[in-house]
Amino acid sequence: MSKIDIKSLNLDELKDLLQQIGDKPFRAKQIYEWLHVKLVSDFNEMTNISKQLREQLKEISEITNLAVVNKLESEDGETTKFLFRLWDGRVLESVLMKYHHGNSVCISSQVGCKMGCKFCASTIGGFERNLTASEMLDQIYCIQRISGERVSNVVVMGTGEPLDNYDNLVRFIHMLSDENGLNISQRNITVSTCGLVDKIKALADENLQITLALSLHAPNDTVRKQLMPIAERFDIDSAINACIYYYEKTGRRITFEYSMVEGINDLPEHALELYKRIKGLNCHVNLIPVNPIKERNYKQSQMKSIQNFKNILEKYRINVTIRREMGTDIDAACGQLRKSYMDKTSD
């Protein structure tokens, strides 16, 4: 894309742009509303903007949009997976989950991922590129347009490591929670990371109110290194300490994600060790039965091991839930739908 990516500009930047082309800055608010509230993807739809200004904007800028490649709805109707095509032909996936408290969208932050976690389908084809702020917003905007229902929660838990795309992520969060845009409360936005310690600390200093989720998946470095290469770069203590810093700066309770893999991280001694590591922290542990992917032979923990693990943590008064599996009938594991599509198209 050689033209200006107008949907990635915040309101002040849009005002500057209008000033530069000799127009009134107050028009910026109207254009911002067309892009981020009325969710249009064509300058011609901006009916209160003069034709001359629309033509000028078309010449220097572009409005990103996503094309729907595939849409799969789970049998219970609660989960819909979307496969989208970007302007450069690359594909990404996003998920709409309908809860009684509102609609939540899980978005991707990168095309592919370079982090190499052993059980994750998103990383198998490697890393392709970062998503821009507009491409992250587009996933939510498209789903809201297609479903006709307001999105109230956003989780950055799809393909990619959001903190490896730091500047675009922070821009995206500001724009998503902007009162002139969709105005989604920062408290309803969750960012999940495999644990880039320096970036967690930087995020803590941004003065945001989003929830941070750390993908922990192990009670110690030995087990963590078996599952996540990032554990070679940052040890478990430094990852947890970065979360403590995040809590101290923001007052936001930390979520620890723990994908349960049979025989690897689901034993009672793991639960006990985990408790000792996180005791005293204002946190919540989310136990996720791992979704097996065909490229790896990791098995999902038995439900009785997961329940036992939960009971042990609860005995020590750790806040813990087992994540309800949603949409297992539609390639629910993160990156799986995109991976199936890539496999088919490369035949």
Ligand X SMILES: C[S@@+](CC[C@H](N)C(=O)[O-])C[C@H]1O[C@@H](n2cnc3c(N)ncnc32)[C@H](O)[C@@H]1O
Q: Is 291 annotated as a binding residue?
A: yes
83 contributes a contact to ligand X by CB under 6 A: no
Among 65, 250, 259, 301, binds ligand X (CB under 6 A): 259
Whichever of 137 and 196 has its CB closer to ligand X, that residue is 196
Residues 6+ apart with CB under 8 A from 281: 240, 243, 244, 247, 254
For tokens 């949603």, the residue is: 326
Q: Residue 290's binding partner, choosing from ligand X, ligand SF4, none, with beta-carbon cut-off 5 to 8 A by kind?
A: ligand X
* Upper half-sphere CA count for residue 113 (Cβ side, 13 Å): 31
The Cα 215–Cα 191 span in angstroms is 10
**From 194, 243, 283, 334, active-site residue:** 334
Q: Residue 39's binding partner, choosing from ligand X, ligand SF4, none, with beta-carbon cut-off 5 to 8 A by kind?
A: none
Among 61, 132, 188, 192, binds ligand X (CB under 6 A): 192
* DSSP conformation letters of 157-184: -SSS-GGGGHHHHHHHHHHHT-TTTT--
Among 80, 130, 215, 301, binds ligand X (CB under 6 A): 215
Does the annotation count 295 as an active-site position?
A: no
Q: Is 161 annotated as a binding residue?
A: yes
Q: Where are the alpha helices (DSSP H) in 21-60?
A: 27-36, 51-60
Amino acid letter, 46: M
- The CB-of-113 to ligand X minimum distance in angstroms stands at 6
- The CB-of-70 to ligand X minimum distance in angstroms stands at 19
Among 83, 91, 105, 120, binds ligand X (CB under 6 A): 120
**From 45, 75, 93, 257, active-site residue:** 93
Burial code (b: 16+ CB inside 10 Å, e: under 16) for 314-328 equals eeeebebebeeebbe
- The CB-of-123 to ligand SF4 minimum distance in angstroms stands at 4
For tokens 């946190």, the residue is: 283
Q: Is 216 annotated as a binding residue?
A: yes
Does the annotation count 93 as an active-site position?
A: yes
Decide: residue 44, CB within 10 A, 0-12 exposed, 13-18 middle, 19+ buried.
Answer: exposed
Q: Count other C-beta atoms under 10 Å from residue 263's C-beta.
A: 11
Burial code (b: 16+ CB inside 10 Å, e: under 16) for 275-310 equals bebbeebebbbbbbbbbebeeeebebbeeebbeebb
Residues at the site binding ligand SF4, with contacts judged by CB under 6 A: 113, 115-117, 120, 122-123, 159-161, 194
Whichever of 65 and 259 has its CB closer to ligand SF4, that residue is 259
One character per residue 129-168, x = contact with ligand X (rule: CB under 6 A): ----------------------------x---x-------
* Upper half-sphere CA count for residue 163 (Cβ side, 13 Å): 22
DSSP class of residue 37 equals T
Among 35, 287, 288, 318, binds ligand X (CB under 6 A): 288
Decide: residue 246, CB within 10 A, 0-12 exposed, 13-18 middle, 19+ buried.
Answer: buried
Q: Is 215 annotated as a binding residue?
A: yes
257 contributes a contact to ligand X by CB under 6 A: yes
Whichever of 134 and 192 has its CB closer to ligand X, that residue is 192
One character per residue 32-61, x = contact with ligand X (rule: CB under 6 A): ------------------------------
* Sites of contact with ligand X (CB under 6 A): 117, 119-120, 122, 157, 161, 192-194, 215, 257, 259, 288, 290-291, 293, 333-334
Catalytic (active-site) positions: 93, 334
Annotation: binding site: 113, 117, 120, 160-161, 192, 215-217, 291
